[in-house]
Amino acid sequence: MTTNKGFCASVCRCFFEYSTPQILVIRSTKVGTLNRIIQALVLGYVIGYVCVLKKGYQDTDGVLSSVTTKVKGVAVTNTSDLGLRVWDVADYIIPPQEESSFFVLTNLIMTLNQTQSHCPENVGFDCVTDSDCKAGLSNTRGDGVQTGRCVNFSSVARTCEVLAWCPLELDLQPPDPPMLAGAENFTVLIKNSIRYPMFNFNKRNILPHVNKTYLQQCVFNRVTDPDCPIFRLRDMTTEAGEDFQTMAVHGGIMGVQISWFCDLDLPASWCVPKYTFRRLDNKDPENNVAPGYNFRFAKYYKTNNNKETRTLIKGFGIRFDVMVFGQAGKFNIIPTLLNIGAGLALLGLVTVVCDLIVLTCMTKRNLYKENKYSYVDDFELLPDGTP
Amino acid sequence: MTTNKGFCASVCRCFFEYSTPQILVIRSTKVGTLNRIIQALVLGYVIGYVCVLKKGYQDTDGVLSSVTTKVKGVAVTNTSDLGLRVWDVADYIIPPQEESSFFVLTNLIMTLNQTQSHCPENVGFDCVTDSDCKAGLSNTRGDGVQTGRCVNFSSVARTCEVLAWCPLELDLQPPDPPMLAGAENFTVLIKNSIRYPMFNFNKRNILPHVNKTYLQQCVFNRVTDPDCPIFRLRDMTTEAGEDFQTMAVHGGIMGVQISWFCDLDLPASWCVPKYTFRRLDNKDPENNVAPGYNFRFAKYYKTNNNKETRTLIKGFGIRFDVMVFGQAGKFNIIPTLLNIGAGLALLGLVTVVCDLIVLTCMTKRNLYKENKYSYVDDFELLPDGTP
Amino acid sequence: MTTNKGFCASVCRCFFEYSTPQILVIRSTKVGTLNRIIQALVLGYVIGYVCVLKKGYQDTDGVLSSVTTKVKGVAVTNTSDLGLRVWDVADYIIPPQEESSFFVLTNLIMTLNQTQSHCPENVGFDCVTDSDCKAGLSNTRGDGVQTGRCVNFSSVARTCEVLAWCPLELDLQPPDPPMLAGAENFTVLIKNSIRYPMFNFNKRNILPHVNKTYLQQCVFNRVTDPDCPIFRLRDMTTEAGEDFQTMAVHGGIMGVQISWFCDLDLPASWCVPKYTFRRLDNKDPENNVAPGYNFRFAKYYKTNNNKETRTLIKGFGIRFDVMVFGQAGKFNIIPTLLNIGAGLALLGLVTVVCDLIVLTCMTKRNLYKENKYSYVDDFELLPDGTP
C-alpha cells in the first residue's frame, strides 16, 4: 500500500511539474542591441514576407473554370477557282466547337474535285522508266500508293504514277497576303465562368455592372474597355507583339490567358479577370519544320453517277487556346496559427545566432561563458580531461 | 609539441561535450495544470488535425486520367421543312469525338439550300436608297459583304443587299419546346481509367464486381445503381437542379465531376469514384448576351451543275465536360518523420506560452523569476543600471 | 519626475537585456558520442535529403505547354463495296484538329447510302405480329422509331419496322486484320513549346542542334535518334508493350507523355524532353463493355432529286493524348533560408532526444539530473509534496 501510495504521489507530482529553461540575462548595450536587431529582422521577415506578401493567414483554393467562345465576322476571297466567295463562321471555324480553344482559318490551299484515281506523283518521286517505281509502295512522304508505272508529270519531268485522291495537291507556299485577310476584324466573345469550390464562390467574366446594350457593341481595349469580354482578333495578336497579317500566312497558336487571383477577404467586386495574350508556338524559322499551324481537311461530295469526289483544303490559321488560371485566398484560423507558430520558432533561432556572436566575438566572452555554462565532468578515458 | 597535444585534447574534449539547457522545475498545481492543458491542446492539434484529418503520415499523388464517352439513343423531329426525321448519334454528336467532353444537339435552326449569291440583309441594316449602303463593307454583326444596292427585304422594309450564303438565316428565337426533346432519354457510357503513378495504382470506373450483363441494361441511380457508369442525360441535369427541357432550348454546359479520393492504406476496393453533376455556365438572363450554348456549322453539298450549296445549322445543345480529379495517399516514412518533428517543435512553443502566463499573471511570479533568471551586468553607459 | 525617469530607465534596461538559456555541459565520451551521432543523422538528413535530393534551395515552377501534331502517311483498303481506295490524312484524322490529342482511324464498318426511310430493326427486336411493336417507341438501344408494323428481317426472322437511316448498320465485329493496317507506318510530328513563366524560360522539343535536313527524314528511336520529334505510330505502341495490329482492330487510347524536369541552375541545354508511351484504356475483356475506342460519324450527300443520303462510318482507331508535365527549379534565397531555418530547428530536437536517453538510460543519470534541474516547490495541496 505504501509503495502504491508513494508511486501514486510521485506520478501526481510529476503531472503537476512545469519545466522551464533557466535563463541568463546579459545586461549589455552591445549584446542587447545585437539581439534586438536580429529579432527585428526575423519579425520583419515573418510579418512582411509571410503575412503581407504571401498572405500566410489565408487558406487558398485553385480555380475551376468553363469556357465558351463565339466568333463573329465574314471575310471575302476572290480566286480564279472559286470567284468571289464569302466565308462565314460555319466556314472558317474548324471543328465548329471545342472545349476551351477555337481555330480560325486565315489562309488556305484548295484542291478541287479530287477523285480516287491514278495520277503522277509530285516532283521528288522522279523516275525514268517503270523499273524506278515499285507497285504497292506507299512512302510516308508520298501522297498515294505507287502503281509501278512511270508517267509524264509535265513536259520536262517524269514521276511515278500513284493511286491517290487525284489531282494531287501542289506543294506550294501559302498565299501571301493571306486569303482571309479580313479575319483580323473578326471578334470573339469569350464567356468564362469560374468557381472556387472551397469558398463556394462563383463569378464570370461578364461583370455585374456590364449591361446587355454595352455588350452588344463593345470591343475589348485595355484602356477604354477593360471589362468587355469581346476581343478583336487583330488586337489580341498586337498585344502579343505579333503582326496579324504575317501570322495569318502560315498560321500559329495564340494563348489567351485569363487570370483570376482573388483575395476574398476584400469585396467580391474586386475579384476581376485579367487578360493577357501570348504567342505559344515558335515562329523562329531556324531549326524548324512546318512553321506555323496548318492541317488538312476535306469536304466530300457525290457526283451524279454516285462517284465520291472531295475538295481538299490545307487550312492555315490561328488556334486560340483559352487558358484560365488563378487562386483565391480567404482568412482561416489554421494557416494563421501555423504561420504564427513557425514565426515563433524562427524567433527561437535568434538566440542561436546571438549566442554564436556573443560567445566568440565579444571582448567579455569569457565572463559570459562562465555564467552561461556549468560543467559535469565524466571523462574516464582522457587522463588530461580537466576543464 | 605540448601546444599541439593540448590543442588536440581540447578538440577531443569539445567533441565529447554535450550541451543541454539547465531546467527549472516549478512544482505547483496551478502552473502544472496550465502546462498540461496547453500541451494537451498542441498534442490534440498534432494528432487530431495533422495525423487523422490531414493524414500527415501519408505521401500523396495527383490523378492521371483518360476518359471516353459513348452516347446512345435516337430522337425524332417533325418540321414542315424536313418532314418526319430521325436523328441518331452520328447526327447529334458534334464533333464526333473529343478528348474529355461531348456535345449533344438538343435544338436547332436550319437554313436549307444556301448558295453564294446576293440577297437582302436582315432587318437592322435598313436603307432607303443605294447611297445608304456601301459596296465592300462587311460589318462584324452582318452576314455578308454589301454590294452597295438597297433592295426590298419584305413588302414594307428595305435593307442593303449583301453577297453571302443566301438565303440568310433568320435571327429567330430557338424553338420551344426544343426540336430534339427526346434527347433527355439518351444515355451515355463514360469510361474512365485513372492512374496514381507514384504508387503504380490503376483503376477504372467499371468496378471489378460489375459484369457485362449488368452493364448492358443498367442506368446510373445514386440509390439503386451507384456503380453503373451509364448515365441518362435527364438524370444528370436533374441532379444539378436543372430542368432538361428548359436547358435544352438555349443549350448550356454541364460539368460531370468524377472524384477519386483514395486512401491506399485501406483495401484497393474501397477506392471508388464519386459522381457529381453541376451546371457550369450562367443561366441568369441579366447582364448576359447569347445565354446558353450554341454554335453554327454547315453540311456542304454540290448540285448537279457543280455549284456548292450548304445547309446551315445553328445548333443549340448541352456540352458535357467530364472533369476527373482526386488524390491518393499512402503511408511513407518521410512525411511521417517530418510531421512528428513539426509536432515536437510545436511542443517547444508550449514553454514560451506558459512562461508568458507564469511570469506575468501568477501571484508568485517574483519567486519564479528569481529562480529562473540569473544576471550578468555590463552597463557601462547607464549609471543607474542596478538590477 | 523621478518615477518617470525610473520607468524610462527600466524600459531602457529591458531593451538592452539579452536572454540566453543557461547550459549544462556534460563532458562524457558516451553522452558526447551519442549526441554527435544524432546530430550527424539530422545533418545528413537535412543536407542529403532536403538539399541534394529535394533541392530545397530552389524555387520551383510548373510547366505551361502548347502542342501541335501533324500526321503523315497513306493507307490502302480493298473492299467489295468501295474497291481499291487510298486513305490520306484528311480521311483518317477525325476531327481534323484538336488541342492536344489526335485520333487515327485504323478500322471501320461502313454503311453506304443510308436514307431516312423505313426498314426492319436488327435482330433483338423480334416480333410475330404488329401487336408486338409499338408505334412511336424509340428504345435507347434501338436504331430508330418503331412504326408499329412487324416485317420480315430475313427469310427466317421478323422484326419491328422502324423509321431510321436505312439500311441499318449491321452489328458486326470489326474486321480483323484491321482495314487500315498500313496505319502502323504513319508518322506524327509532335511540336511542343514549353514555358516556365516564373523564370521566363522557353524551350521547345525541337532542340537547337537539330537541323532542317535531319528533321525531314528522321524517325524517333530511343537509342539512335532520341531527339527526333517524329514518331512512327507502331513504335509508340511497341514501347507501351502493345501490338499495333491487335490494338488497331478495336481501337484504344495511347498516352504520349512528354516530361520536362529541368534544373535551371545547370546549363539550359541540359533541359531536354523525355518521351514515354503508355496505353491509357483498359484492354481487359472481362467486366467490360465496348472495349477499345470507336465512334460513329457520317458524311452527308444529296442525290439528284435533292434527297439527303449519308454514309455512316463506325470508326475504330487510336486516340493519342499528348500529356506534357514537368517542373523547373532555380536557386532562390528565400527557400534556401527557409530550409536552413528548418534544419536548425531540427537540430534543436537533438537535445530533446539526447536528454531522453541520457536522463533515463545512462548509469550516472542521477548525477546529470541533479545538475540539470533546479526546483521551486509550491505545493499547497499535496501534503507529501517533498522533492
For residue C287, the model assigns a pLDDT of 67
pLDDT tens digits along A260-300: 999 999 998 999 999 999 999 887 766 677 788 999 999 99
For residue C385, the model assigns a pLDDT of 41
Distance CA A171, CA C107 (A): 29
* Interface contact B379-A91, CB threshold 8 A: no
Higher-confidence residue of B149 and B80: namely: B149
Identify which of B31, B33, B281 has the shortest CB distance to residue A68.
Answer: B281
Residue B21 sits at the vertex; the CA angle it makes with B19 and B27, to the nearest 5 degrees, is: 150
Sign of CA dihedral C173, C174, C177, C179: positive
Which of B266-270, B285-289, C18-22, C355-359 is predicted with the least confidence, judged by mean pLDDT?
Answer: B285-289
Higher-confidence residue of A246 and C336: namely: A246
For residue A381, the model assigns a pLDDT of 45
* Averaged pLDDT for residues B314-338: 89
Q: What is the pTM of this model?
A: 0.88
Q: Describe chain B by its helix, strand, coil percentages, rounded to 5.
A: 30, 40, 30
> Quick one: DSSP state of residue A226?
T
CATH of domain B22-57+334-372: 1.10.287.940
Of the candidates A347, A223, A46, the one whose C-alpha atom is nearest the C-alpha of residue B353 is: A347
Say if B297 is an interface residue toward chain C (CB within 8 Å): no
User: Long-range contact list for B134-137, CB < 8 A, 24+ apart?
Assistant: none
For residue A379, the model assigns a pLDDT of 58
Residue C157 sits at the vertex; the CA angle it makes with C152 and C162, to the nearest 5 degrees, is: 50
Identify which of C19, C74, C185 has the shortest CB distance to residue A145.
Answer: C74
Query: What is the residue whose three cell numbers read 507556299?
Result: A173
Say if A360 is an interface residue toward chain B (CB within 8 Å): no
Quick check: helix, strand or coil at residue C254?
Answer: strand
* Averaged pLDDT for residues A312-322: 95
Which of A52-61, B7-16, B106-115, B297-306 is predicted with the least confidence, judged by mean pLDDT?
Answer: B7-16
* Averaged pLDDT for residues A227-231: 94
Distance CA B16, CA C32 (A): 4
Quick check: helix, strand or coil at residue A365?
Answer: helix
Identify which of A18, A99, A185 has the shortest CB distance to residue B32.
Answer: A18
> Do residues B291 and B285 make contact, with C-beta atoms less than 8 angstroms apart?
yes
Distance CA C293, CA C287 (A): 16
Q: What is the rounded average pLDDT for all residues in chain B?
A: 87
Of the candidates B136, B287, B169, the one whose C-alpha atom is nearest the C-alpha of residue A218 is: B287
Distance CA B246, CA B237 (A): 10
Q: Is residue C213 pLDDT above 80, yes or no?
A: yes
Cβ contacts of B16 on chain C, cutoff 8 Å: 27-29, 31-33
Q: Residue C130 has which C-alpha cell?
A: 404488329
DSSP bridge partners of C126? C159
Interface-testing mutation among B13, B17, B20, B26, with chain C (most C C-beta atoms within 10 A): B20
Using CA coordinates, name the residue in chain A closest to C211. A287
* Averaged pLDDT for residues B336-355: 77
* Averaged pLDDT for residues C113-140: 88
Distance CA A98, CA A67 (A): 10
Q: Residues 193-222, chain C: which have Cβ within 8 Å of B?
A: none
Chain centre to alpha carbon of residue C371: 60
For residue B34, the model assigns a pLDDT of 86
Q: Is residue B225 pLDDT above 80, yes or no?
A: yes
Chain centre to alpha carbon of residue A336: 30
* Averaged pLDDT for residues C291-296: 91
Q: Residues 130-149, chain C: which have Cβ within 8 Å of B?
A: 138, 140-145
Q: Residue A207 has which C-alpha cell?
A: 461583370
Residue A54's CB is within 10 A of a number of other CB atoms, namely 13
Interface-testing mutation among C33, C82, C97, with chain A (most A C-beta atoms within 10 A): C97
Q: Is residue C327 pLDDT above 80, yes or no?
A: yes
* Interface contact C385-A13, CB threshold 8 A: yes
Q: Is residue A311 pLDDT above 70, yes or no?
A: yes
Spell out the domain ranges in chain C.
Answer: 22-57+334-372, 62-121+168-331
Distance CA A180, CA A104 (A): 10
* Averaged pLDDT for residues C157-174: 90
pLDDT grade, residue B382 (50/70/90)?
A: very low
Q: Residue C223 has which C-alpha cell?
A: 537509342
pLDDT grade, residue A359 (50/70/90)?
A: confident
* Interface contact B70-C290, CB threshold 8 A: yes
> Do residues C323 and C253 make contact, with C-beta atoms less than 8 angstroms apart?
no
For residue C386, the model assigns a pLDDT of 42
Four-CA torsion B53, B59, B62, B65, nearest 10 degrees: -110
Distance CA A144, CA A167 (A): 11
CATH of domain C62-121+168-331: 2.60.490.10
Cβ contacts of A305 on chain C, cutoff 8 Å: none
Distance CA C311, CA A157 (A): 39
pLDDT tens digits along B79-103: 888 888 999 999 999 999 998 899 9
Burial track A106-135 (b if 16+ CB lie within 10 A, e otherwise): bbbbbbebbebeebbbbeebebeeeeebee
For residue A384, the model assigns a pLDDT of 45
ipTM: 0.85
For residue A90, the model assigns a pLDDT of 94
Domains B22-57+334-372 and B62-121+168-331 share a fold: no
Residue type, C361: C
Distance CA B354, CA B373 (A): 16
For residue C120, the model assigns a pLDDT of 92
Q: How far is the alpha carbon of C136 from chain A, nearest alpha carbon, in Å?
A: 32
* Interface contact C18-A29, CB threshold 8 A: no
Distance CA A142, CA A32 (A): 83
Distance CA B35, CA B23 (A): 15
Q: Residue B256 has which C-alpha cell?
A: 460531370
pLDDT grade, residue A255 (50/70/90)?
A: very high
* B9: exposed, middle or buried (Cβ count in 10 Å: 0-12, 13-18, 19+): middle
Query: What is the residue whose three cell numbers read 445565354?
Result: B291
Q: Residue A23 has which C-alpha cell?
A: 535563463
Query: What is the residue whose three cell numbers read 492539434?
Result: B45
Q: How far is the alpha carbon of A334 from chain C, nearest alpha carbon, in Å?
A: 20
Q: What is the rounded average pLDDT for all residues in chain A?
A: 87
Q: Is residue C233 pLDDT above 50, yes or no?
A: yes
Give B321-380 as a DSSP string: EEEEEEEEEEE-HHHHHHHHHHHHHHHHHHHHHHHHHHHHHSTTHHHHHHHHEEEEEE-S
Residue type, A10: S
DSSP bridge partners of B310? B114, B300
Q: How far is the alpha carbon of C162 from chain B, nearest alpha carbon, in Å?
A: 10
Q: Residue C239 has which C-alpha cell?
A: 514501347
Higher-confidence residue of B108 and A386: namely: B108
Q: Residue C248 has which C-alpha cell?
A: 488497331
Q: Is residue B366 pLDDT above 60, yes or no?
A: yes
pLDDT tens digits along A129-142: 999 888 888 887 88
* Interface contact A18-B12, CB threshold 8 A: no
Distance CA B111, CA C236 (A): 45
> Do residues C147 and C163 make contact, with C-beta atoms less than 8 angstroms apart?
yes
Which of A15-19, A380-384, B197-201, B288-292 is predicted with the least confidence, judged by mean pLDDT?
Answer: A380-384
Residue C37, φ and ψ in degrees, nearest 5: -65, -45
* Interface contact C97-A94, CB threshold 8 A: yes
* Averaged pLDDT for residues B159-180: 91
* Averaged pLDDT for residues B358-368: 84
Identify which of C21, C29, C75 has the shortest CB distance to residue A21.
Answer: C21
> Do residues A359 and A368 make contact, with C-beta atoms less than 8 angstroms apart?
yes
